[in-house]
């Protein structure tokens, strides 16, 4: 006699609050097969990859010309309503190692140490040689979780998580006029040799086309979700 076992779906249960995953669409920019955003031009080609982490973006730029090109991050920004979030952050970061020694005597403890490392300065502009490309990962903007969403129109669905468990979530879809959030990316460039440079800009518009409400952080999600270039994760 052959035993037939019932197929049981394991669901990821969590007591945490619902998180939001925002799927982005563009109005004047194409979406690639890998769900990145690509804008091709005769002068510069721009690619955006939005990371699941809050406000983190990878921007890749390709100089299509025979002339030197400069991206001016100080004059570039994400614009959400009346709020401007500059691509340029003057903060420096340090990567290194801390070494310390200590001694104890007469009830007194003393210690001393030193730090060996490298300080990374954010650049206000970057040079892009002719027919070459650069890429930069930045934390640009902060978003609060979206409010007043049409919860009554949400569709229930499931997906397979990172640990083979199924995750329940609710999905709401929007067109551009009804989107709960839209924003613009404004990039400023300079082209030409020193003393003969001309400034120009490129602007790309994005809006939230889907909101997923789900009790799972990015570590619980499958790579097919976390590797996408069109999704932002918002913690409650």
- Which of 2 and 37 is assigned the larger pLDDT? 37
Q: Is residue 89 over pLDDT 90?
A: no
Say whether 219 sits in a helix, a strand or coil: helix
DSSP 8-class letter at 223: H
Residues with Cβ within 8 Å of residue 136, at least 6 apart in sequence: 58, 59, 60, 73, 126
Residues with Cβ within 8 Å of residue 72, at least 6 apart in sequence: 124, 125, 188, 189, 190, 199
Convert the pLDDT of each residue in 40-84 to its tens digit.
999 999 999 998 877 789 999 999 999 999 999 999 999 999 999
In the chain, which residue ranges form alpha helices assigned H by DSSP?
223-226
**pLDDT in the model for residue 202:** 98
**pLDDT in the model for residue 55:** 78
CA quadruple 212, 217, 221, 225: dihedral, nearest 10: 50
Give residue limits of the domains in the chain.
19-234
**pLDDT in the model for residue 10:** 42
Q: Is residue 205 over pLDDT 80?
A: yes
Residues paired with residue 70 on neighbouring β-strands, in sequence order: 127, 190
Output the pTM of the full model. Answer: 0.80
Say whether 225 sits in a helix, a strand or coil: helix
| Cα-only R_g, the chain | 23
Q: CB 144: neighbour CB atoms within 10 A?
A: 8
**pLDDT in the model for residue 106:** 60
Among all chains, which residue has been given the structure tokens 């789900």? Answer: 214
Question: Token pair for residue 76?
Answer: 């570039």
Convert the pLDDT of each residue in 155-202 to its tens digit.
999 988 877 788 899 999 999 999 999 999 999 999 998 888 999 999
The mean pLDDT value for 200-221 works out to: 94
**pLDDT in the model for residue 107:** 60
Convert the pLDDT of each residue in 103-155 to its tens digit.
565 665 656 566 555 454 568 999 999 999 999 999 898 888 999 999 999 99
Q: Is residue 6 over pLDDT 60?
A: no
SS (H, E, C) 138-207: EECCCCCCCCCCCHHHCEEEEEECCCCCEEEEEEEECCCCCCCCEEEEEEEEEECCCCCCEEEEEEEEEE
Say whether 124 sits in a helix, a strand or coil: coil
- Which of 144 and 92 is assigned the larger pLDDT? 144
Say whether 220 sits in a helix, a strand or coil: helix
Place 91 in a pLDDT band, splitting at 50, 70 and 90: low
Q: Quick one: how far is CA 215 from the chain centroid?
A: 20
Question: Token pair for residue 148?
Answer: 């007043």
Q: CB 188: neighbour CB atoms within 10 A?
A: 19
């Amino acid at each position: 006699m052959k035993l037939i076992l019932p197929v049981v779906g394991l669901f990821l249960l969590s007591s945490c609050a619902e998180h939001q995953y925002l799927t982005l669409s563009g109005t004047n920019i194409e979406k690639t097969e890998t769900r990145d955003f690509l804008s091709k031009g005769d002068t510069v080609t721009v690619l955006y990859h939005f990371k699941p982490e809050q406000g983190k973006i990878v921007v890749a730029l390709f100089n299509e010309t025979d002339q030197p090109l400069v991206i001016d991050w100080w004059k570039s920004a994400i614009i959400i309503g009346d709020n401007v979030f500059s691509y340029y952050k003057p903060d420096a970061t340090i990567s290194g190692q801390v070494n310390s020694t200590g001694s104890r005597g007469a009830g007194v403890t003393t210690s001393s140490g030193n730090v060996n490392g490298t300080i990374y300065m954010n650049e206000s502009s970057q040079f892009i040689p002719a027919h070459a490309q650069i890429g930069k990962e930045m934390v640009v903007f902060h978003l609060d979780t979206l409010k007043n969403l049409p919860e009554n129109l949400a569709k229930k669905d499931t997906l397979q998580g990172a640990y083979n468990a199924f995750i329940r979530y609710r999905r709401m879809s929007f067109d551009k006029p009804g989107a709960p959030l839209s924003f613009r990316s404004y990039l400023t460039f300079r082209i030409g040799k020193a003393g003969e440079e001309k400034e120009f800009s490129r602007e790309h518009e994005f809006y939230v086309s889907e909101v997923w409400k789900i009790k799972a952080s990015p570590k619980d999600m499958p790579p097919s979700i976390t590797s996408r270039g069109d999704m932002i994760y918002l913690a409650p």
